[in-house]
Amino acid sequence: MKAPSLSRFPRDKPVIPALLSIAGTALPLYVLYVLVGALFASPQPPPPGSRGPGIFFLLLPAFAGGAAFLVLLTMVFSIFLLFDARHHKAWGAVLTVWWGLPSAYLLVVLVIDLINGAQTATGAQVPDWTGIVFTPFLGLAGGIWGFFWHTGVDPRAWTLPTIAGTIPRG
């Protein structure tokens, strides 16, 4: 009798890389939450002497739509990575580039913040960042892992006869 496997995830699908890249959407989801909250907030009375709400009120739906598009597109790429294991290198590369840009930006901002915080008169200051800011790094890790993930099956061996041979005949 064979001992049960420690891993409950299927070995033929990149489950953990897809979950990491889905976890990377926490920051864009939070931005979407803030923008939609501002979009549906109760209107404030204009200050005396002003003409109206200004141009920001007109751009807010565009920002909310853009954030929703970014979240949706990332989720779609992550789902493709999960269910299209045959093209995991392509989806892993897309997610690596997708999450690599904000991760590089956040890394530069973090380093600059650490350098500027270290030069204050009160001594070393640590940036007061919440954990959600670092979720693009999870997405980047999922994309890189999805790119290098290996099923142990040679994709060149997938021909119509070998695929047809795996279909149970009933």
Rounded-to-integer distance, Cα 113 and Cα 127, Å: 6
Report if residue 3 sits inside a domain: no
45 and 98 Cβ atoms separated by less than 8 Å: no
Classify each residue of 9-25 as buried b or exposed e, where b means 16 or more C-beta atoms within 10 Å of its C-beta.
Answer: eeeebbbbbbbbbbbbb
Report if residue 47 sits inside a domain: no
Report if residue 2 sits inside a domain: no
Report if residue 65 sits inside a domain: yes
* Region for 159 from its dihedrals, namely left if φ exceeds 0, alpha if ψ lies in -120 to 50, beta otherwise: beta
Report if residue 99 sits inside a domain: yes
List, for residues 103-162, the tens digit of each pLDDT value. 888 888 878 877 776 655 665 555 566 677 788 888 888 888 888 776 555 556 666 676
Structure tokens at 98: 């997708």
pLDDT on residue 6? 45
How many structural domains compose the chain?
1
pTM equals 0.62
Question: In this predicted model, which residue has the larger pLDDT, 8 or 67?
Answer: 67
The SS3 of residue 123 is strand
List, for residues 10-63, the tens digit of each pLDDT value. 556 667 788 888 888 888 888 888 878 877 777 777 777 777 666 777 787 887
Q: Which residues constitute the domain of residue 159? A: 15-41+54-165
